Amino acid sequence: VMVNRIWLHHFGEGIVRTPDDFGTRGQPPSHPELLDYLASRFMEDGWSIKKMHRLIMLSSTYQQSSDENPRYEQIDPDNKWLWRMNRRRLDFEALRDTILAIGGDLDLSMGGRPVRLDAEPYPVRRTIYGYVDRRSVPNMFTAFDFASPDLTTGQRENTVVPQQALFMMNSPLVVEQARNVVRRVDFKQQANLEARIDLLYKLIYQRSPTDIEMRLAKDYLTSDAATEWQTTPESAWEYGFGEYVPTLKRLKQFIPMGNFANRAWMPGGKILDGSLRGVNLTADGGNPGKTYAVVRRWTSPRDGYISIEGTLSHSSNDGDGVEGHIVSNRAGELGSWVAHASKSETKLARIHVYRGEMIDFITDCRENPRSDNFKWSPNIKMEPQANLSADAIMEWRAQRDFSGQARARRLTAWEKFAQVLLETNELTFVN
C-alpha cells in the first residue's frame, strides 16, 4: 500500500488505481510483479521512503516525456501501460509554493505554529503550515480540490473549474509575485529587452522562449510601453502598511489598507493580533504601529523628472518621535528624516522616474510607539514635456488628492507580462 502511494505521488495514478481499496471491489494492479518487486525492495532497504523515491525517479519509466504518440494512444488511451509520463496538475500546496518561490518570497523556515493563508498580512510560509479550519475551509483551498479534512483521502480528485482561472487572474498572491519577479536584482541587471524576456522564461518555465514567443513578447511590451496612462490625481495614490527593514532601506512587504472610516484608511481583513491597533493614514498624516510602518505610495504615470516637497512634523513631547523615508522601488531610499516634537523639511529635487515606478512615503515608529501621531502630506511636481497633451496631470498633492476609494493597483507592462506567464498551464501542470 505504501509503495503504491509513493508511485501515485510521482505518476498521478497508482499501480493499483484504487489506493484506498486493495480488496475485491478495488481495481487489480496494472503491473503486479512490479508492485511486488518494489514492496520487497522497500522492506530490504529498511523501509526507507527516500531510497524508494530515488529508485523510482532514476527509472527510464519515470524519465519519459509526456509527448503524444498517435499509435500508442489508440492501443492504450488511458496510459495504463505507461508508454509516456502522465501530465499532472500541481496540487494547491505545490502551486502556491511555486509561485512564491518564483517571486523570491517563499519562507523555507521549518516548524512553528500554523498560519492563516487568507488573513492579512498574507503570509509567505510554505503551504503545509496553513491553518485548516474544518468548519470553514478557505475558498482558495476548495477551488483547487483540497482534500476534505474530515475524511481519509488517498487520492485527490482533479477538477477544472472557472474559480481556478479566476484565482490566478485576481489573487493578490499571484499579482504580488508578478511584481516581485520583475523587482529581482538579476532581472534589473539584464542589459536589454531580449535578455529580460529570456530570464523570465527561465525563472518561470526553466527554458528559453521560442522565436515566436520572443517576437510576441517584444511586440506586446513595446506597444504597451507606448500607451499613455489616463489617470486622475487621486488614482496615482495608494495607502498601505508594511514592515520597514532599516538594513535594506526597503519595505519587506506593502499591504494595502482595506478599511476607510472616519476620514482615515486603516488595515482591513482578519487581524490576528494587536500589532496593527491604531495604525492609520489620513489626508495630512497618520499613525504608525510598533511593528508596521504606514505607507503613502505614489505611482508615476509616465517617464520624467519630478521634485518632491513636504514637511514631516511630530508635535508631542512624549515618546521618541517618528522616522520618515522616501523610497523608490527602482532606486532605493532617496531620503530619510526624523521628527520629535519638531518639523523636518522633506525636499528632493529633480529625480528621474520611469512609468510605473513607485515612490513610497514611509513613516515608521522609532523605539517607543507612544504618541507617534504625525503630519506629512507631500507634493510632487513633474517637469513639463513637449510631447504631452495640454490636460496631462503634472502635479500631485497628497492632502488634496486624498480619497476613500481604493485605487486599482495598475500593473506595469513587465508586471502584466510576468502575470500572464504565471497563469499558464505550463506552470500549473507537470508536463
DSSP string covering 285-297, please? EEE--SS-EEEEE
State the pLDDT confidence band at 390, using cuts at 50, 70 and 90.
Answer: confident
What distance in Å separates the CA atoms of residue 254 and residue 387, rounded to the nearest whole number? 33
Task: Evaluate whether 6 touches 155 at the Cβ level (below 8 Å).
Answer: no
What distance in Å separates the CA atoms of residue 190 and residue 414, rounded to the nearest whole number? 13
Q: Of 411, 81, 360, 95, which Cα lies nearest the Cα of 237? A: 360
Q: Of 398, 263, 260, 384, which Cα lies nearest the Cα of 326? A: 398
pLDDT at 294: 96
- Average pLDDT of span 326-350: 94
Task: Evaluate whether 332 touches 249 at the Cβ level (below 8 Å).
Answer: yes
Query: Does residue 397 have a pLDDT over 70?
Result: yes
The C-alpha cell that represents 49 in the structure block: 521512503
pLDDT at 112: 92
What distance in Å separates the CA atoms of residue 253 and residue 265, rounded to the nearest whole number? 18
What distance in Å separates the CA atoms of residue 61 and residue 64, rounded to the nearest whole number? 6
The C-alpha cell that represents 401 in the structure block: 488628492
Provide the 3-class DSSP secondary structure of residue 136: coil
What distance in Å separates the CA atoms of residue 94 and residue 106, rounded to the nearest whole number? 12
Cβ neighbours of residue 5 closer than 8 Å, sequence gap 6 or more:
14, 19, 154
Q: What is the number of alpha carbons within 13 Å of residue 138 lying toward its C-beta?
A: 15
- Average pLDDT of span 355-368: 91
pLDDT at 143: 84
What distance in Å separates the CA atoms of residue 321 and residue 168, rounded to the nearest whole number? 42
What distance in Å separates the CA atoms of residue 356 and residue 298, rounded to the nearest whole number? 9
pLDDT mean across residues, the chain: 89
Reply yes or no: is the peptide bond before residue 19 cis, omega within 30 of 0.
no
Q: Which amino acid is located at 171 in the chain?
A: S
pLDDT at 338: 95
The C-alpha cell that represents 144 in the structure block: 483547487
State CA 65 to chain mean position distance. 30
Q: Which range scores top for mean pLDDT: 41-55, 179-193, 379-393? A: 41-55
The single residue listed with the C-alpha cell 532617496 is: 334
pLDDT at 381: 96
pLDDT digits (tens, 9 = 90+) for 56-100: 999 999 999 999 999 999 999 999 999 999 988 888 899 999 999
The string over 342-366, giving b where at least 16 C-beta atoms fall within 10 Å of a residue's C-beta and e elsewhere, is eebebebeebebebbbbbbbbbbbe
Lowest-pLDDT choice from 44-48, 307-311, 330-334: 330-334
Q: Of 123, 126, 131, which Cα lies nearest the Cα of 109? A: 126
